[in-house]
């Protein structure tokens, strides 16, 4: 069904190093009372006394931050130790070569962790000095090959010695990569500087100049972009088989060409909590402890005592670690953004509430405009430039950045490029899930989709859902060899659990009503609300065909995020109530494109890419479904004898720019209307009563960019030296 595992596992170079960072157990950590093994994901927010405010980082886990940052400077894979062609470095951006870090309380650092070690090279354990003696004994028993390192020994010299020792132990017969390694001092700039330092070492660039740009955000960004451009140009010349002399002659022009076409993964850290959540979670005295974060802070430097700083600086270091970990894994770019202004959350909550009423296009447009105004402080020239060069965005935040419109665009950001979210609350879970990331998977065989019908048939919405999925099955039927859809009646939680256990789908679609329980966004299965589905084996992809299961304005605890905790790799949810027929059309189109990609691969690399195409190409349906008049006009006959929607499909190819997709869609539809002599009337319908861009109010959380639609073996072959 699926291919799981790290790339090139058949080669010693493909077995990733594993680092362990230990901390003293505190309340809520350690082995369960029944003696079951420690699972390194905290499920509940610790109390205020035990955690930072407002994002909720356990103070015992915060003590591991110096060690986590240190390990991020060690090799992510053994490929980091040897010379790799530029074309292979560029190809590796799609493989997500994470640092594998075991973050665990010391009393759980024992043989029960064998499942974490069996597919890794256990390398070194890092811990606070007071845990050193016990950590040494436990690390030795688990087979870690380098001496346990206490915080007091963390330095540039130790880092260099450990890089050399790792090379000598694992691949002594291969030539070592030249170049210095050193710790990054500015944590706020590390999402830019650390990936660039690693790239510079691989490319053989001088390292002395790197320190100069570690003190300026604009300098670090410019340096990182230039490095990515040179990598892309060099990789292109290698792929084209240019001789050394030809490459030298063509290099300046190739660099100029790559400046315009450069696309790299971008990770963003966007702190901030909704005021409504803070009022529910904290008393007034605790709320006063919250401090907004600027994008950069000169005082934000690495130290073995960084966990002893005030809450806002500790949380900052944790978020920056997650963003840097992501940027290094993808060999891309990372940026820290300032705290989301509170007014942006307030307006977002108002926007989400508006959808519970008979919502109007004009009101939604006004609220989106107000949201953009409130979030204006987030935009910097570096953020704008990064997004213009991004292949996709990974946003660590509780705020839906994709709903904002970048200056100069007319459509929200999630139309311009794929966006995926990693929730920040509680921050303990964010950090732990980031370092214990599951491997990428490939869905390049027959995909099994289970549609769990959780709405009673007596409910009209349930009837429409079942009919929509029946039609989807028919549309997918020509590609049945690549994708099968199974519908199941699951009107109780037990029925849902049994159906998932029986069918073991690759994609689970839960058709249900969304419901709010206080400040929690849950699913109604039958008549009962649920936040925890208790699935024994959670499918890698869960799509919630339900209303408002991922609201963000009030900081609600959402089942979309909680399913990531249960083990899903990617979860799709809705921010607002959605119309059942439109939702059914969107889901059916997703399944059709997914089936076609598996049958004839080449257009989409990941499931995230498929979703983004479906989401943006649905703009025409959003527009034509805006009023009864537009729906009727869509079926009328054009001068070419086709329906409007069919004529649009043939004319729109190559004319819809994603940052302006709704504007361009209106233009093409207007041309068709002009030819019918109805241009003014149809354009008037676009604005009165207008339409709502409902397709953009979906959130893809987790790691959909890790769910590939081609074989991981093929991708690994591209990224392996000496192929």
In 3-state terms, what secondary structure has residue 160? helix
CA distance 567 to 574: 19
pLDDT tens, position by position, 525-583 = 998 999 999 999 999 999 999 999 999 999 999 999 999 999 999 999 999 999 999 99
- Sort residue 704 into left (φ over 0), alpha (ψ -120 to 50) or beta: alpha
Helices then strands, counting H and E runs in the chain, come out as 28, 21
Question: What's residue 48's pLDDT?
Answer: 67
Ranking 72-76, 437-441, 633-637 by mean pLDDT, the lowest is: 437-441
pLDDT tens, position by position, 123-132 = 999 999 999 9
Structure tokens at 488: 């199941």
User: Is the pLDDT at 8 greater than 60, yes or no?
Assistant: no
Print burial letters for 38-68: b (CB count within 10 Å at least 16), e (below 16). bebebeebbebebbbbbbbbbbbbbbbbbbb
| Whole-number CA gyration radius for the chain | 26
pLDDT tens, position by position, 585-607 = 999 999 999 999 998 998 999 99
Q: Residues of the chain with pLDDT > 90: what percent?
A: 80
Question: What's residue 271's pLDDT?
Answer: 97
Structure tokens at 345: 């959350």
Prediction pTM value: 0.94
CA distance 574 to 583: 10
CA distance 256 to 692: 40
Contact 190, 324 (CB under 8 A): yes
User: Is the pLDDT at 258 greater than 90, yes or no?
Assistant: yes
CA distance 223 to 250: 22
User: Is the pLDDT at 454 greater than 80, yes or no?
Assistant: yes
Closest CA to 699 of 559, 500, 525: 559
User: Is the pLDDT at 501 greater than 50, yes or no?
Assistant: yes
Closest CA to 396 of 360, 368, 357, 434: 434
The answer for residues whose C-beta is within 8 angstroms of residue 379's C-beta and 6 or more apart is: 406, 407
Structure tokens at 22: 């230990």
Query: Averaged over 148-160, what is the pLDDT?
Result: 97
Neighbours of 410 (CB within 10 A): 15
Q: Where are the domains of the chain?
A: 266-435, 441-619+695-708, 626-690
User: Is the pLDDT at 336 greater than 70, yes or no?
Assistant: yes
CA distance 283 to 439: 40
Q: DSSP states of 286-314 as a string? A: HHTT-----S--TT-B--TTGGGS-HHHH
Q: How far is CA 297 from the centre of its chain?
A: 25
Torsion over CA: 620, 625, 626, 630 (sign): positive
Question: What's residue 47's pLDDT?
Answer: 66
Selecting from 3.40.50.11810, 3.40.710.10, 3.40.50.1460, 3.40.50.2300, what CATH number does the domain 441-619+695-708 have? 3.40.50.1460
Q: What angle do CA 212, 213, 217 make, to 5 degrees?
A: 150
Q: Give the full edge-to-edge strand order of the sheet including 3-4.
A: 3-4, 441-442, 707-708
Q: Band of the pLDDT at 3, cuts 50, 70, 90?
A: very low
User: Is the pLDDT at 207 greater than 80, yes or no?
Assistant: no
Owner of token pair 């430097």: 301
pLDDT tens, position by position, 26-85 = 744 544 433 343 444 333 455 667 899 999 999 999 999 999 999 999 999 998 999 999
The mean pLDDT of the chain is 90
In 3-state terms, what secondary structure has residue 505? coil
Q: What angle do CA 182, 188, 193 make, to 5 degrees?
A: 45
pLDDT tens, position by position, 192-206 = 999 999 999 999 998
Question: What's residue 718's pLDDT?
Answer: 45
Q: Band of the pLDDT at 715, cuts 50, 70, 90?
A: low
Q: DSSP states of 429-467 as a string? A: HHHHHHHTPPPPEE--SPEEEEEEE-S-TTSHHHHHHHH
pLDDT tens, position by position, 78-122 = 989 999 999 999 988 887 789 999 999 999 999 888 777 888 999
Contact 74, 154 (CB under 8 A): no
Q: Band of the pLDDT at 505, cuts 50, 70, 90?
A: very high
Question: What's residue 399's pLDDT?
Answer: 97
Torsion over CA: 630, 633, 635, 639 (sign): negative
490 phi and psi, to 5 degrees? -130, 75
In 3-state terms, what secondary structure has residue 601? coil
312 phi and psi, to 5 degrees? -65, -30
Higher pLDDT among residues 71 and 517, named by residue: 71
Residues counted in the chain: 723
Structure tokens at 376: 């204006």
CA distance 224 to 197: 9
């Amino acid at each position: 069904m699926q291919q799981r595992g790290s790339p090139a596992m058949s080669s010693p170079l493909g077995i990733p190093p594993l680092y362990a960072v230990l901390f003293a157990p505190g309340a809520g950590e350690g082995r369960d009372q029944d003696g079951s093994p420690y699972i390194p994901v905290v499920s509940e927010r610790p109390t205020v006394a035990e955690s930072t405010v407002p994002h909720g980082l356990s103070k015992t886990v915060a003590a591991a931050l110096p060690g986590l940052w240190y390990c991020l400077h060690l090799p992510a894979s053994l490929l980091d130790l040897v010379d790799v062609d530029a074309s292979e470095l560029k190809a590796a951006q799609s493989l997500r070569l994470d640092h594998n870090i075991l973050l665990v309380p010391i009393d759980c650092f024992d043989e029960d962790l064998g499942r974490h070690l069996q597919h890794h090279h256990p390398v070194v354990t890092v811990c606070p000095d007071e845990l050193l003696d016990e950590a040494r004994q436990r690390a030795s028993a688990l087979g870690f090959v380098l001496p346990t390192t206490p915080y007091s020994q963390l330095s540039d010299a130790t880092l260099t010695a450990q890089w050399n020792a790792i090379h000598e132990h694992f691949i002594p017969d291969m030539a070592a990569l030249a170049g210095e390694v050193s710790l990054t001092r500015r944590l706020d700039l590390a999402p830019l500087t650390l990936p660039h330092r690693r790239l510079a070492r691989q490319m053989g660039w001088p390292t002395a100049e790197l320190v100069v740009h570690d003190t300026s955000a604009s300098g670090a960004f410019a340096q990182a972009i230039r490095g990515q451009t040179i990598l892309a140009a060099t990789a292109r010349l290698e792929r084209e088989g240019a001789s050394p002399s030809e490459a030298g002659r063509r290099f300046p022009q190739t660099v100029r060409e790559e400046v315009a076409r450069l696309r790299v993964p971008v990770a963003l850290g966007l702190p901030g909590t909704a005021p409504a959540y803070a009022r529910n979670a904290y008393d007034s005295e605790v709320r006063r402890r919250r401090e907004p974060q600027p994008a950069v802070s000169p005082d934000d430097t690495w130290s073995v005592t960084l966990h002893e700083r005030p809450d806002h600086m500790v949380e900052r270091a944790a978020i920056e670690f997650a963003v840097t970990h992501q940027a290094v894994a993808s060999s891309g770019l990372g940026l820290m953004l300032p705290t989301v202004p509170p007014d942006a959350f307030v307006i977002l909550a108002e926007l989400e509430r508006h959808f519970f009423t008979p919502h109007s296009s004009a009101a939604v447009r006004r609220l989106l405009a107000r949201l953009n105004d409130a979030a204006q402080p987030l935009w910097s020239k570096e953020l704008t430039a990064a997004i213009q060069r991004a292949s996709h965005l990974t946003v660590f935040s509780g705020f839906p950045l994709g709903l904002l419109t970048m200056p100069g665009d007319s459509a929200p950001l999630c139309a311009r490029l794929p966006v995926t979210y990693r929730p920040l609350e509680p921050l303990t879970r964010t950090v732990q899930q980031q370092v214990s990331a599951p491997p990428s998977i490939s869905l390049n065989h027959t995909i099994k989709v289970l549609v769990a019908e959780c709405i009673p048939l007596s409910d009209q919405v349930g009837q429409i859902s079942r009919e929509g999925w029946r039609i989807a099955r028919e549309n997918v039927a020509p590609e049945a060899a690549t994708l099968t859809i199974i519908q199941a009646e699951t009107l109780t939680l037990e029925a849902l659990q049994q159906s998932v256990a029986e069918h073991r789908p690759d994609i689970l679609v839960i058709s249900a009503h969304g419901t709010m329980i206080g400040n929690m966004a849950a699913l109604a299965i039958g008549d009962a609300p649920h936040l925890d589905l208790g699935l024994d084996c959670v499918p890698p992809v869960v799509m919630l065909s339900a209303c408002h299961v991922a609201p963000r304005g009030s900081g609600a605890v959402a089942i979309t995020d909680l399913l990531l905790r249960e083990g899903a790799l990617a979860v799709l949810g809705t921010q607002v109530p959605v119309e059942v027929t439109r939702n059914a059309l969107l889901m059916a189109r997703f399944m059709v494109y997914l089936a076609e990609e598996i049958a004839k691969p080449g257009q989409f690399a990941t499931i995230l890419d498929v979703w983004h195409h479906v989401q943006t190409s649905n703009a025409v349906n959003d527009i034509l479904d805006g009023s009864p008049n537009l729906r009727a006009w869509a079926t009328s006959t054009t001068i070419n004898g086709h329906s409007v929607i069919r004529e649009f499909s043939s004319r729109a190819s190559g004319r819809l720019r994603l940052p302006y997709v709704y504007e361009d869609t209106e233009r093409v539809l207007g041309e068709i209307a002009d030819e019918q002599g109805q241009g003014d009337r149809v354009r008037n319908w676009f604005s009165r009563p207008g339409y709502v861009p409902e397709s953009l109010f979906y959130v893809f959380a987790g790691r959909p960019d890790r769910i590939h639609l081609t074989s991981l073996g093929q991708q690994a072959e591209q990224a392996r030296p000496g192929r």
